[in-house]
Structure 1
C-alpha cells in the first residue's frame, strides 16, 4: 500500500510516498481502509523533526475517516463499519495518511451520517483537542472565554462547543474573519485584543502566549494548544495546555453534534495522497480556512 512518510526531516519536499506493507491489527485493534484524513500543523512539525526520530521512517497523519477492513481479537467493531478515528503518534512508522491504518478499537467512533468522508476526516484531532481543552478550563456557564485563533480549525470547534456550554465567547482573529467567527457562536469579536484582566479565561489556540495571558483576570485560567509552550502563572492565573488523547466515546459525542447540525466541518481543499507534499506546502503557506484533506 501507499503511505506518506518522512525519512529525513525538512520542508514539504521531505514528504515521500512510499510502498509499505499493509498493517495487521493486533488484539484490541482495528484496521481501517482510509477514505480521507485532514492535514494538520502537527504533521508539518513532525516532518520538520520537531518531535525527533532522526534516522527512522516516520508516518504522517492523525485524522482518519474510512471503513473497518479487519478486526483484532476483542475489538467491538465489524468489517464494513464506516468510522472516524484519531491515530495519535508523532514518531511512528505508519500514520493515517496511508491507504490503510491500524488504531486502537477504543479510539474509533461511527462516522457522521450527515457528511461525506472528506468532511468527516477533519473532525477527530481538532474536535477532540477543542473538547479536551474546554474540559481543562473547568468553567461554569456564564463565564467569559476568549478564544485566540477562533477562525482556525481548533479555535472554530472551541467557539462552537464553548457556546453550547453556555460560555460567553469572544473570538480573536483577523478582522476579515469576523463574520465567520461570529457564525461559529462567538458573542463578541476582536482583532486587537481586550482590556487586560477582563475575561475569566483564554483558550490560546493561536499560541500568542504572554499577551493572551494578560487578558485573563486575576485567578482565572489560561489553556494553550501546545504542551510545554504555555506561559508561567502570574496573578494567580492557572496555566496549562491540552495534550490531545484518543477517545472514541468522546469522538462519538462530537459526531452526534455534527449530525445534529451543531458542529460544522470545514474543508478548504482536497489533495490526492500522492500529492501530499503539495498539501504540506499549501498549509505551510498559511491563510487556509478549513482543513486540507488527503484522499488515498
Structure 2
C-alpha cells in the first residue's frame, strides 16, 4: 500500500484526500489508525481561524486530527515500541500535512503510550488531547490538596477530565455547567455546583467565601470567571486570545496541550484503574467528517466524537 486516505482542512470544511503513506523516521512510530478523536480545535484548524490569533500561519491546508488510537506497524531507530502494540498518541504539531485523522499517522515516540487494556480503540481515542490539556492546566493552576478550583464547562470533554483529575489531586472543585448536568459533574467529583447562566462570581463566592484559589476556564467565560477568583489567585485559559487581564494580582495564563509520554502513561493507568471516565458520544467514518464537525459545532455533546478510518 503506497497511498492512503487522510483529512485536511485550512480554509473551510474538512476534505478527504489521497496522500502517500508516511514513513517512520528515527525516534518515531507509524500507527495504523483504528480511531481518531474530533476536538473543537479541529474545527478551528479546518476553518483556518487559528492564524487570526497568531497560533498558526495562514495555509491552504493542514492535516486534521490530534488524537490517534491504533496499532504500531512501523518503528524508526531508537524506539522501544514494537510492531503490533496497541497504542495511543498525540499529534501536537499544528502545521503537519497529515495528522491523526487518516489511515496511518507517524508520531514521535515521545508522544505515544500503551493503549489502556480493556477498552476499545474508539474509547482510547478520546484520551490524549483532552486529558493532557486538563493535566497541564491543573499543573499551571496549582491544583492540589485542599486548594479550591473552579472549572467552567465542567460537563464538556475537557471539563469532565478537569473535575476528575483535580479531585484525584485532592482539590475541592466548584463546577459550572448547565442545570441538567449537575448529577453528571457531581458524579465526576465536583463538591459544589453552579448552574450556567447564573452570576458566576457571586454564586461561587457564596459557596467559597473570598473566592476560589484558581479557575480553569474551559467554557471561555473570561472576566465573569476571573471575578470568582481570590486576590492573588490563578486563572488558566485554554483558548488563544481569550485570557482576561490579570486584575487583583491574579496570575493569568493560557495553556495549550503538549505531548508528554510520561503523563499520557499515567493517564492510561488511571483509566485502567477506573478513575477516569471515557465518554463517547458518536462515531463517524472518515468520509462523514464534515457531519462530525457540524455536530460538534452545534454543541450539547456529553462525550467525544470519534472518526473511524
Q: Same fold (TM over 0.5)?
A: yes
Distance 1:83 1:59 in 2: 20
User: What TM-score, normalized to structure 1?
Assistant: 0.96
Query: 2 CA distance for matches of 1:281 and 1:83?
Result: 28
Give the conservation status (yes or no) of the 8 Å contact 1:51–1:90: no
1:9 matched residue in structure 2: 11
Contact 1:46 1:91 in 2 (8 A): no
**Gap change, CA 1:113 and 1:42, over 3 Å in 2:** same
Relative to the length of structure 2, the TM-score reads: 0.92
> Quick check: 1:231 aligned with 2:244?
yes
Name the counterpart of 1:104. 108
Residue 292 (str. 1) matches residue 301 (str. 2): no
Match status 1:175 vs 2:179: yes
Q: Give the CA RMSD over aligned residues.
A: 1.2
The within-5 A match list for 1:123-202 is 123-191=127-195, 192=198, 193=200, 194-196=203-205, 197-202=210-215
1:100-153 alpha-carbon deviations (Å, 9 max, x no partner): 000101100000002110000000000000000000012341111110000001
Q: Note closer, same or farther for the CA distance 1:3–1:137 as it changes in structure 2 (3 Å cut).
A: same
What CA distance in whole angstroms lies between the structure 1 residues aligned with 2:58 and 2:240? 21
| Matched-pair contact (CA < 8 Å) for 1:169–1:188 | yes
In structure 1, what is the Cα distance between the partners aligned to 2:69 and 2:273?
19
Shift of residue 178 of structure 1?
A: 0.6
Q: 1: distance between equivalents of 2:168 and 2:29?
A: 33
The 1-side partners of 2:290 and 2:170 are apart by 41
CA contact (8 A) 2:174 2:204 kept: no
Secondary structure class of the residue paired with 1:278: helix
Task: Give yes or no for contact 1:149–1:173 (8 Å, CA) kept in 2.
Answer: yes
Which residue of the other structure, out of 64, 69, 76, is the alignment partner of 2:68?
Answer: 64
1:114·1:258 contact (CA, 8 Å) conserved in 2? no
Correspondence 1:34 to 2:53: no
Task: Supply the distance in 2 between the matched residues of 1:195 and 1:100 (Cα, whole angstroms).
Answer: 46
In structure 2, what is the equivalent of residue 122 of structure 1?
A: 126
SS in 1 for 2:249: coil
In the TM superposition, residue 180 of structure 1 has moved relative to its aligned partner by 0.6
Report the Cα distance in structure 2 between the residues aligned to 1:195 and 1:19, rounded to whole angstroms. 51
CA contact (8 A) 1:118 1:293 kept: yes
Judging changes above 3 Å, is the alpha-carbon distance between structure 1 residues 55 and 245 closer, same or farther for their aligned structure 2 residues?
closer
| Cα distance between partner residues in 2 of 1:136 and 1:121 | 25
The whole-number CA distance in structure 2 between the counterparts of 1:82 and 1:162 is: 28
Structure 2 unmatched ranges of 5 or more: 52-56
SS of the residue 2:20 aligns to: coil
Cα 1:195/1:280, change in 2 over 3 Å: closer
Task: State the Cα distance separating 1:95 from its structure 2 match.
Answer: 1.1
Q: Which runs of 4+ in 1 moved over 4 A?
A: none
Deviations 1:194-252 (A, max 9, x none): 24542111111111111100000111111111244211111111111212100111100
Match for residue 54 of structure 2?
Answer: none
CA contact (8 A) 2:144 2:166 kept: no
Distance 1:200 1:169 in 2: 10
**Contact 2:145 2:170 (C-alpha < 8 Å) held by counterparts:** yes
Q: What SS does structure 2 have at the residue aligned with 1:20?
A: strand
